[in-house]
Structure 1
Amino acid sequence: MSIRGQDVGGDPIACDAFGYGLGRPTGILVLLYRADGPMGFGAVRHDLLHQLYWSPDGMLSAVYGGRSCFTAPGEAFWAERGVSHEVRAADRQTVYRLCLREVPDPLAGFRRGHVAVGARATRLVQEIATPGYDERLALEARGRILSDLAPITPDVAAQCADGKGFARAVARAMSHDPADPTRLDEWAEQLHISAKTLQRDFVREFGMSFSRHRTTLRLRAARALLVVEPVSVVAHRVGYSSVSAFVVAFAKEYGSPPGQYSRARLASPV
């Protein structure tokens, strides 16, 4: 089933819906959104279904319980049925929204927040969100997708209990709060390694230094906020001490100032 519409500002938005076993507790509805402009998913939601939001090509901004956060690569945002929340995405971004009647076993007792999505799950989500996919195979894939989810602990050191993934753990923590001012040496101290070791791990994992990765992260997060927040608010929300520094960094990265980007209209999915 494919749904296409427009928001009140005229920005085109497409939603393709793929339902399997609907009406049964074990069913799943996958909504695939694409828009030319940024997207917002409800300022206040009290959904009848549990919701999992995931994007393969950008960060998502989530607002809930008076606080906001961002998803890192390989993460989704989870909200149980009845939990008020808002999710935003930047322009020309793809968003998958999984709607469920049952809470996945790995997320039992986890009302809302960041969820790790394994490589198998990301592949299967994209596979079942294609026209003509066999329902029996899709429901089998549903079980594997849900078993591949896991709540993310905020403890950076605990994520590296095996002595690996230092840069990935720090990058994930910075994604959740781009304004976090923690320095490279302070992260390294939390992980009980040297700053040089952590810096080398960033270059090995991401092909860039800690400082460059943080700048890239902050600017990507800004894109998800600019359509609903003024430039001055966004600048401080993503960690810049001055608006002018943010404007220069944004224009250097994307070729236009943030004020121009913020004038884009926000598309609201159906």
Structure 2
Amino acid sequence: MSVNGHFGTDPDWCEEYGYGLGRPDGICVLKYGSARMLGFGEGRDDFLHQLYWSPDGLLGTLSGTDGRFVGQREALWVKRAVSHEVSGGAGQTTYRVFLREVPPALRDVRVAAVSVSAEATRLIQFIATAGVTEAEALEARARIMAGLGATTREFTGHCADGRGFAMTVARSLTREPADPTRLEEWAVRLCTSVKTLQRDFEREFGMSYSQWRTRLRLQAARVLLKEPRPVTQVAHQVGYASPSAFIQAFSKEYGHTPGEYVRRR
């Protein structure tokens, strides 16, 4: 059996796609979109595992006291019955995948940011569209399960087109956007040259290290601004030494100030 539908109207909407519901190999995908900031929170007592992924922004996640950000080349894995909160910035699309079985690489993972292959992300988006048959969706589900990984090696293998240096740095900075480590210091840690690391960033992301880090910090700020926080606090949390520098960068990237962004939510 498969079900799909479109719930609500803009600016907040949710589409639901379910295949093989009730079966161990079934899958359900909820696709959320909003012009405002999205947030999910659960005290869990169900029997379904969940995977959250967004193709166009960071997700802020919280389980207990463990808070982190999840980038576009990662997903948040939450084992059944684990309480958690997930939030995203305005204008993001977020996919929420429900599974009864645990992917092979995640058997020992309770809740964590996990790597997701390009094929798996493509297939998540594929089954969250109208007209997909149950047979197609269940075949895609098996490949999605195989495209998830918990280790650094799997992350680099799933996500890196180049040498993997940029992806190693990206995963670390996604955890801590305020990390002040300079490109030269990263190169020393990775036993490579600055030029090689810079080229790897340009190959993977189409921009320099500094440009990528700025974009990451501003995406993180959009998530943090979901809750009422002073701009000064958010600026420091994402690595800006002064609120004025943060406001200038935010306005240049998004065309409005952080304060205007909050008022629109």
For normalisation by structure 1, the TM-score amounts to 0.88
CA distance in 2: counterparts of 1:47 and 1:239, whole angstroms = 37
CA distance in 2: counterparts of 1:156 and 1:142, whole angstroms = 19
Q: Is the 8 A contact 2:70 2:175 kept in 1?
A: yes
| Structure 1 residues 142 and 204, CA gap change in structure 2 (3 angstroms) | closer
CA distance in 2: counterparts of 1:134 and 1:192, whole angstroms = 49
CA distance in 2: counterparts of 1:247 and 1:256, whole angstroms = 9
- Give the structure 2 partner of residue 45 of structure 1: 43
CA distance in 2: counterparts of 1:257 and 1:264, whole angstroms = 11
Q: Is the 8 A contact 2:50 2:97 kept in 1?
A: yes
- Give the structure 2 partner of residue 260 of structure 1: 260
| Structure 1 residues 139 and 17, CA gap change in structure 2 (3 angstroms) | same
| Structure 1 residues 106 and 251, CA gap change in structure 2 (3 angstroms) | same
- 1:246 shift after superposition: 1.0
SS at match of 2:8: strand
| Structure 1 residues 172 and 229, CA gap change in structure 2 (3 angstroms) | farther
- Give the structure 1 partner of residue 83 of structure 2: 84
Q: Is the 8 A contact 1:56 1:94 kept in 2?
A: yes
Aligned residue identity for 2:250: F
- Give the structure 2 partner of residue 134 of structure 1: 133
- Give the structure 1 partner of residue 234 of structure 2: 234
| Structure 1 residues 126 and 24, CA gap change in structure 2 (3 angstroms) | same
Identify the range of structure 1 (146-155 vs 217-226) with the bigger mean alpha-carbon deviation: 146-155
Aligned residues: 259
- 1:139 shift after superposition: 1.1
- Give the structure 2 partner of residue 243 of structure 1: 243
CA distance in 2: counterparts of 1:251 and 1:186, whole angstroms = 29
Gap runs ≥5 in structure 1: 266-270
CA distance in 2: counterparts of 1:3 and 1:85, whole angstroms = 25
In the alignment, which of 4, 7, 12 is matched to residue 4 of structure 1?
A: 7
- Give the structure 1 partner of residue 213 of structure 2: 214
Aligned residue identity for 1:248: Q
- 1:156 shift after superposition: 9.9
Aligned residue identity for 2:8: G
| Structure 1 residues 123 and 158, CA gap change in structure 2 (3 angstroms) | closer
SS at match of 1:62: strand
Pairing of 1:141-180 with structure 2 (within 5 A): 141-153=140-152, 164-180=163-179
CA-based RMSD: 2.5
CA distance in 2: counterparts of 1:159 and 1:243, whole angstroms = 37
Q: Is the 8 A contact 1:179 1:240 kept in 2?
A: yes
- Give the structure 2 partner of residue 268 of structure 1: none
- 1:264 shift after superposition: 2.9
Quick one: higher RCO (CA 8 Å, sep 6+), 1 or 2?
1
- Give the structure 2 partner of residue 29 of structure 1: 28
- 1:176 shift after superposition: 2.0
Percentage of identical aligned residues:
55
Aligned residue identity for 1:186: E
Gap runs ≥5 in structure 2: none
Q: Is 1:98 the equivalent of 2:97?
A: yes
| Structure 1 residues 145 and 190, CA gap change in structure 2 (3 angstroms) | same
